[in-house]
Amino acid sequence: MKRRKFLLFLGGSAVLGLGAFRCREKSDRMTRWIWMSSNCAWTDDDWRKHLDRLHKHGIDRVHLCVYTGNKAFFHNTLLTETPCDVLQRVLPLAKERGMYVHAWIWVLHNNSKQLIERHPDWYVINRLGKSTVTDPPYVPDYRWLCPSKPQVRDYLLKVVRELGAYEDLAGIHLDYIRFPDVILPVGLQPKYHLTQTEELPQFDYCYCPTCRQQFKKKTGIDPLQLKQPAKNRQWVQFREDQITNLVKLLAAEIRKFGKSPTAAVFPTPSLARKLVRQNWPQWPLDAIFPMMYHGFYNEPVQWLEKATHQDLQAIPANEKLYPGLFLPHFTPKELKLGLELIRRAGAPGFALFDYGLLTKKPEFWQIL
């Protein structure tokens, strides 16, 4: 696997009503989700074949990737890179099969040439004064928008509004709604020849003029003057709040269209806050999808049960939790065990990353 790929693994009625997520209850059958890439080359018959295969194996909820920050697969008037309107083709086919589709979008990880050329000032800046436009961390396309900027928020609201116009879309799934990794998962650090035991300035975001001015107005402190920024609770909280406020803004807009807001997040509340400044237990969503990619944390499969327990205790009772599982970290036997463990912990379902990986292992289909 190429180095740049690792970080890409780190998100009744025609419209799935908000009430469908409201109660946490146990069921004999776990709800099954799949993250799925869009493929503009597939014909309608191809999509029918793939959807039929998912439906046959009990996977009737799909996070379909429609916006990656450098490509918009749905018809997006905001971008020039518009290969095809995947949603217009897939939604009727999914509806025929009783399947629900959520539009999976990359929120702040954005490598759009158009945005970079027109709005380089929208991107985050690290403690050394380097922008991800010119000095992306870890991999060459790791460019991130700043959640504090009003222009960025307006831009993302427009993306959500375009998606909200699709009548048969059940929800919008927010991914990469965080800051760049200030600390990588421990299992990934050797792949980048790093040892991160503390926050290093080249990975510490965001110190753009907007963030500095807003924080100084609130506290009287310029964060660049902090000797130990990682230990300043106000500065840490400020950045967590920028992400939380953006989630609240987008979730409210999503609900205006009768869609369900959901998000992919880091695996536990403590890891999410430490590594990427996500305080996701505070997010007002219908469902949360913690990416419990245990191999990236050097954890055994058994860790899934503990993590699921922690996550369920952290969220409101009316919010659903679906652990996300990274298929390359499992043997077929381990996948069966993992599903049993998260079920025993009380999760009402699970999500698999992703359809392309699932198709490579016939044994996984047999387990489902």
CA distance 360 to 368: 14
Number of domains in the chain: 1
Q: 55 lies in which domain range?
A: 29-199+240-367
Mean pLDDT, residues 281-298: 98
Q: Which pTM does this prediction carry?
A: 0.92
Distances (CA, A) of 213 to 10, 83, 129, 277: 30, 39, 15, 19
Return the biggest CA–CA distance within the chain: 61
* Cβ count within 10 A of residue 331: 12
pLDDT value, residue 80 = 61
pLDDT at 20 over 70: no
State both tokens at 303: 């860790």
**Within a domain: residue 48?**
yes
pLDDT confidence of residue 12: 34
Residue 327: which CATH number?
A: 3.20.20.80
Q: Is residue 278 part of a domain?
A: yes
Q: Which tens digit of pLDDT belongs to each residue from 64-73?
A: 999 998 888 8
Q: Which two tokens stand for residue 308?
A: 């699921």
15 located within any domain: no
pLDDT in tens, 153-187: 999 999 999 999 999 999 999 999 999 999 999 99
Please name the residues in contact with 224: beta carbons below 8 A apart, sequence gap of 6 or more.
Answer: 127, 207, 212
Is 233 contained in some domain?
A: no
pLDDT band at 29 (very low <50, low <70, confident <90, very high): confident
Task: Say if CB 35 and CB 103 are below 8 A apart.
Answer: no
The letter for the amino acid at 27 is S
pLDDT of residue 7 exceeding 90, the answer is no
At 43-63, the pLDDT tens digits run 999 999 999 999 999 999 999
Q: What is the pLDDT of residue 21?
A: 41
The helix (H) or strand (E) run that includes residue 321 is strand 320-321
The answer to whether the CB of 6 falls within 8 A of the CB of 300 is no
- Asked, for residue 16, whether it belongs to a domain, the answer is no
Residue 216 located in a structural domain:
no
Q: What is the pLDDT of residues 256-265, one digit of tens each?
A: 999 999 999 9
pLDDT-derived band at 24, boundaries 50, 70, 90: very low
Determine the Cα–Cα distance for residues 34 and 328; give it in Å rounded to an integer: 15
311 vs 307: CA distance, rounded Å: 6
Task: Return d(Cα 105, Cα 95) in angstroms, integer.
Answer: 21
Nearest Cα to Cα of residue 172 among 160, 162, 156: 160
Of the candidate ranges 71-75, 126-130, 285-289, 345-349, the one whose mean pLDDT is the lowest: 71-75
Would the pLDDT of 1 be above 50? no
> Smallest Cα–Cα separation from 272: which of 232, 243, 234, 231?
243
Give the end-to-end CA distance of the chain in Å, rounded to a whole number: 26
Closest C-alpha to 7, from 285, 230, 194, 255: 194
> Taking residues 246-261, what's their average pLDDT?
98
In the three-class reduction of DSSP (H, G, I as helix; E, B as strand; rest coil), residue 208 is classed as coil
Task: For residue 213, give the amino acid letter.
Answer: Q
- pLDDT at site 4: 40
Rounded CA-CA distance 39/10 in Å is 21
Question: What local confidence, expressed as pLDDT, does residue 71 receive?
Answer: 86
Residue 22 domain flag: no
Q: Determine, yes or no, domain membership for 18.
A: no
CA distances from 97 to 92, 93, 254 (A): 9, 7, 24
The percentage of residues in the chain with a pLDDT greater than 70, rounded to a whole number, is: 90
74-124 residue pLDDT tens: 877 766 666 789 999 999 999 999 999 999 999 999 999 999 999 999 999
Question: What residues form DSSP beta bridges with 321?
Answer: 288
Task: Give the mean pLDDT of the chain.
Answer: 92
